[in-house]
Amino acid sequence: MTHPDASAPTDRLFLALWPDTRLRGALARHADDWRWPRSARRVRTEKLHLTLHFIGEVVRSRTAALIDALAVPCAPFQLALGRPANWAHGLAVLEIVRPPAALADLHGALGEALQRAGLAVERRAFRPHVTLARQAAGALPPAQGPELAWAVRGYALVVSDPGAGGGYRVLAHYPAQGAGG
């Protein structure tokens, strides 16, 4: 995103489904069962998530307004994670088994909210997944993929902190309607 003052501080943002601690642990245990090449860079357990939309660099002074602009209605739904795959460019992922219509609906509604806020939406097709590792060409998943149940109860706006030790910070959590918090 372009802005008039190139020196203004920015946040690198994305929208994601953010797993709870239990699911994140199950994902990490599944990743432990893969055979990884030496080059593999596994995603740290606390960073495991499913990206809905990558937003990119946004002038920090706009972030507070975006928190409100990205609130869209969301119903609770279920996902089943369980199809291990090696994607191009060395990505090892766990794909969604039978993606529900509710996931596509949420992705679409968030894309519309991003456009209303004046932000670009990626043009490539949405391929829902959890990235387990990068630089992992040749990784071998276990013979049996898990089928991990994910009770989606909302989504999050997340900032990616820069630097080698950087992590992710949830800036806003948007609970699903009727999700009980």
3 an active-site residue?
Answer: no
Q: Strands of 168-175's sheet, edge to edge?
A: 50-59, 10-17, 154-160, 168-175
Q: What is the pLDDT of residue 145?
A: 75
- Mean pLDDT for 163-177 is 86
Q: How high is the mean pLDDT of the chain?
A: 91
Question: Which CATH number does the domain housing residue 101 bear?
Answer: 3.90.1140.10
Of residues 30, 53, 89, 129, which has the active-site annotation? 129
Note whether residue 109 is domain-resident. Answer: yes
Say if residue 1's pLDDT is above 80: no
- N-terminal to C-terminal alpha carbon distance within the chain: 33
Residue 129 appears among annotated catalytic residues: yes
Domain that holds residue 84: 10-175
Residue 4 has pLDDT above 70, yes or no: no
Share above pLDDT 70 across residues of the chain, in percent, rounded to a whole number: 93
For residue 51, is it within any domain? yes
Number of compact structural domains in the chain: 1
Q: Summarize pLDDT for 87-143 with one digit per residue, the tens.
A: 999 999 999 998 999 999 999 999 999 999 999 999 889 999 999 999 999 999 998
Q: Check: CB of residue 100 under 8 Å from CB of residue 77.
A: yes
Residue of higher predicted confidence among 166 and 136: 136
Q: What does the block give as tokens for 31? A: 């990743």
Which candidate in 49, 53, 89, 173 is catalytic? 49
180 within some domain? no
- Helix spans in 17-118 (H): 21-32, 60-69, 101-116
- Residue 3 reports pLDDT greater than 50: no
